Amino acid sequence: NEMAVQLHAQFQERESLLQAVSHEIGTPLSRIRFRLEQLEQEASTPEQRKRLEALAGDLDDLDQLSSELVGWMDTDASQQARRDFDVCPVLESLIELECQPAGRTLHASLTSPTRPLVIRADQRQFQRAMENLLRNAVRYASSAIVIDVAEAGRAVCIEVRDDGPGVP
């Protein structure tokens, strides 16, 4: 019984900490968003507006991460976030966002079947994992990144390759 009481107290402390961290992150995010809105009003070229839109998207991602901190305390939340979605449109948008490094020419291609490849997953977590893989490929690629998507029985197989010096 004492152990159960201690575990319950620890879970409550962890939940309070996550809520506090989420709240504290929100304050600088709000200040940054306000300053970004000011910059958007002053933007004079399409390129500047596009960069500011990308920053706004990054801020949205940080807001979402902050909310997810609290959501992790709910054990049912991960199951509720799962839904069916086609992986190819997600990958196409990530290629457009992640595979255009400044000052470099990098060719990124996606090879996939013509029909949708649907998986059941938390799309945000899937996107976050693929972003990490693509950022790593961009960092080490010499000139090309290839993403192959294929059916493997009842699963979908995604392979990310680059022509850099990394592991085979």
- pLDDT (tens digit, 0 to 9) for every residue of the chain, 168 residues total? 888 888 888 888 887 887 777 777 777 887 888 888 888 888 888 888 888 888 888 888 887 777 776 666 655 555 567 899 999 999 998 888 777 766 677 888 899 888 899 999 988 889 888 988 888 888 888 889 999 999 988 889 999 999 988 765
Question: SS in 3 state form for the chain?
Answer: CHHHHHHHHHHHHHHHHHHHHHHHHHHHHHHHHHHHHHHHHHCCCHHHHHHHHHHHHHHHHHHHHHHHHHHCCCCCHHHHCEEEEEHHHHHHHHHHHHCCCCCCCCEEEEECCCCCCEEEEEHHHHHHHHHHHHHHHHHHCCCEEEEEEEEECCEEEEEEEECCCCCC
Provide the whole-model pTM: 0.58
